[in-house]
Amino acid sequence: MQSVSPLVTNDAVVLGMLAVILGAVFWTSSRKTGAWSRFYAYVPALLLCYLLPALLNTAGIIDGNASSLYPVARDYLLPTALVLLCVAIDFGAVLRLGPKAVIMFLTGTAGVMLGAVVSFTAMGFIHPETVSGETWRGMTTVAGSWIGGGANQAAMKEVFEVEATLFGQFVAVDVLVANVWMAVLLFLASRAQAFDRWTGADVSAINALKDRIERYQAEHARIPTLTDVMVVLAVGLGATGLAHALTGPTVAWIASLPAEWRLQDYSLTSGFFWIVVYATTFGLLLSFTRARKLEGAGASTIGSAMLYILVATIGMHMDLNALLDRPWLFLLGLIWIAVHGGLMLLVAKLIRAPLFFMAVGSQANIGGAASAPVIATAFHPALAPVGVLLAVLGYALGTYCAYITGLLLRALAT
C-alpha cells in the first residue's frame, strides 16, 4: 500500500508514460545488433512492458490502484483485442490441440488447492503467528481469485465472513504474488524451446496452428489503408460494444432466476465474465466469415497493441512496498505459488506437455481471463483464444474448489 501521494496522478499523463515505455521497449528490442540485441537475448521484451510500469508504481511515481486506466483497458481494449485476435483463428485447429491443455489447467487448479494446505502447514512451523487466528479465512479469498477470478474471490469473502482489513491484506498478497508469478511465466515463455526439449513435448499441433496462421497472414498481407484500419476498428470495437450491450440484459435475466439455483457460483452474474465470453464468441464466429480477410490488414497486430497496453496497466498494480505491511503473509503466498508451479512442472514432465500448455493453464487459474491471453500471446497471437477458453472454465470451478479449500484450511486451523 502506498503511504504518500504519487508524483503523477493525471491518467492522461500516466497513459503517455506507458505509451513511451512500450514504444521504447519495442524500438530497442527491434535492434538486431549491438548491446540491445544482447540484452534482449536474456530479458524478454514483454516482461519489460510489464515490469517497468511496476517499478514506477513501487517508486511512488504513479499509483496503479488509484488509476482508472486498468478498468478501461480490461473492459474495452481486452475484449476488442480478443475479437481481433480471434478473427484469423483456425478454430478447428485449436480443438485439435488435444486434451493436454485441459489436463494442465486442472493441474493448476489442484496446485492452488494443495498449495493452500502446504503453505498454511509450513508457516505453522516457520512463523506460527502468521497463520494464527482468522488467517485461514483470508486465504479462502486468494483461493477463489487464483482458481476463478474476482467474482469467486468476493463470493469467498461472503461465505467465510472475511473481515475487511484481513481481506485487504490478502488482496495485496494476491496481487503481488500473482504478478511475480506472471513475470516468471513471461520469462519462461522466452525459453519455450529449451523447456519443451526437457519435457520431450510434442509441439507439432501448436506449431501447425502457428504455421497455418502465418501462411494465411503471408498470403493475404497488404499495406493497410486508412479504410482498412477503420474497418478493423469498426469490427473490434463494434463487437465489444455489442458484447457490453448484451451483458447488461444477460446478467439481469440470470439475477432474476431462482436464488436456489446458485448461478452466481458459476460467475454467471459477473458482467466481466459475459463480456469476455461474448467478445470471444463474436471473434470466433467472424473467423468463419469474410471478416477473416481483415487479418491481411493487420487485425491481430492492432489487437496485440491493445493487449500490450493492458499488460502495462496490469504491471501498474504491482507494489513491492506492500511487503512492509505483513511480510510473513507474502512468504506464505510465495510458498503457495511455488507448490502450484512445482506441481505444474511435475505433471508437464510426466505427460510431456509443452510449456505453452503449462503456462497458459497456470495463468488461466492465477490470472483469469484478463491475463491468460497475454501469456498465450507471448507464444503467438493465434493462441490467445486458448487462454480465454481455459480462463472461462476457471470461473466455473472457482467457487466450488475455493470452498473445498476453505473447509480444509478451517480444519487445519482448529
Closest CA to 263 of 250, 275, 276: 250
Domain boundaries, the chain: 70-313+322-413
Phi-psi region of 60 (alpha: psi -120 to 50; beta: other; left: phi over 0): left
pLDDT in tens, 359-393: 988 988 887 766 777 788 888 776 777 777 777 67
DSSP secondary structure code for residue 67 in this structure = -
Confidence of residue 15 (pLDDT cuts 50, 70, 90): very high
Is the model's pTM score more than 0.85?
A: no
Q: What are phi and psi of 135, to 5 degrees?
A: -55, -40
Residue 312: what residue type? A
Helices (H), 148-288: 150-159, 164-189, 192-199, 204-220, 226-255, 271-286
How far, in whole angstroms, is CA 242 from its chain's centroid? 23
Per-residue model confidence as pLDDT tens digits over 201-219: 888 878 877 777 777 777 7
Mean pLDDT of 320-332: 76
pLDDT band at 395, cuts 50/70/90? low
24 confidence band (pLDDT: 50, 70, 90)? very high
**What's the chain's Rg over C-alpha atoms?**
21
pLDDT at position 255 over 70: yes
32's enclosing H/E stretch is none
Confidence grade of residue 2 (pLDDT, cut at 50, 70, 90) = low
Average pLDDT, the chain: 84
pLDDT number for residue 244:
95
Contact 390, 108 (CB under 8 A): no
Helix (H, G, I), strand (E, B) or coil at 161: coil
Helix (H) or strand (E) holding 352: none
pLDDT tier at 325 (50, 70, 90 boundaries)? Answer: low
What sign results for the dihedral spanned by CA atoms 218, 232, 72, 391?
Answer: negative
Q: Is 85 strand, coil or helix?
A: helix
**Looking at per-residue confidence, does 119 or 153 come out higher?**
119
pLDDT in tens, 173-211: 887 888 889 888 888 888 888 899 998 988 887 887 777
53: buried, middle or exposed (CB in 10 Å: 19+, 13-18, 0-12)? buried
Q: How confident is the model at residue 154 (pLDDT cuts 50, 70, 90)?
A: low
Lowest mean pLDDT, pick from 80-84, 112-116, 247-251: 80-84
Q: Within 13 Å of residue 222, how many CA atoms lie on the same side as its CB?
A: 12
How far is Cα 109 from Cα 375, in angstroms, rounded to an integer?
A: 17
